[in-house]
Amino acid sequence: MLRAAHVILRGVMVAIVNGLRYAVREGESTMFDAKKIKTQIVGWIAEYFKNNAAPETKAVVGISGGKDSSVAAALCVEALGKARVLGVLMPQGGQHDIDVSYALCKTLGIAYVEINIGEAARALYNGITASGLELNSAATFNTPARIRMATLYAVSGIVGGRVANTSNFSEDWVGYATKFGDAAGDFSPLSELTVTEVKAVGRELGLAPEFIDKTPIDGLCGKTDEDNLGFTYAVLDRYIREGVCDDQAIKEKIDRLHGMNLHKIRPMPVFRLQGED
Domains of the chain, first to last: 1-31 (no CATH), 34-229 (3.40.50.620)
**Per-residue CA distances from 38 to 18, 200, 257 (Å):** 16, 9, 29
- Per-residue pLDDT band for 79 (boundaries 50, 70, 90) equals very high
The tens digit of pLDDT for each residue in 195-204 reads 999 999 999 9
pLDDT at 214: 83
Average pLDDT score over the chain:
88
Q: CA 123: distance to chain centroid?
A: 27
The answer, as to whether pTM is greater than 0.75, is: yes
Cα gap 99→106, rounded to integer Å: 10
End-to-end CA distance of the chain: 35
Residues contacting residue 189 through CB under 8 Å, at least 6 positions apart: 41, 44, 45, 72, 75, 76, 164, 165
pLDDT at 220: 55
Return the sign of the alpha-carbon dihedral for residues 49, 54, 55, 56: negative
Which strands form 4-9's sheet, in the order they lie side by side?
Answer: 4-9, 12-17, 20-24
Cα gap 203→264, rounded to integer Å: 29
pLDDT at 224: 86
With a pLDDT cut of 70, the percent of the chain lying above it is 86
pLDDT at 96: 87
Q: Reply yes or no on whether the pLDDT at 250 is more than 90.
A: yes
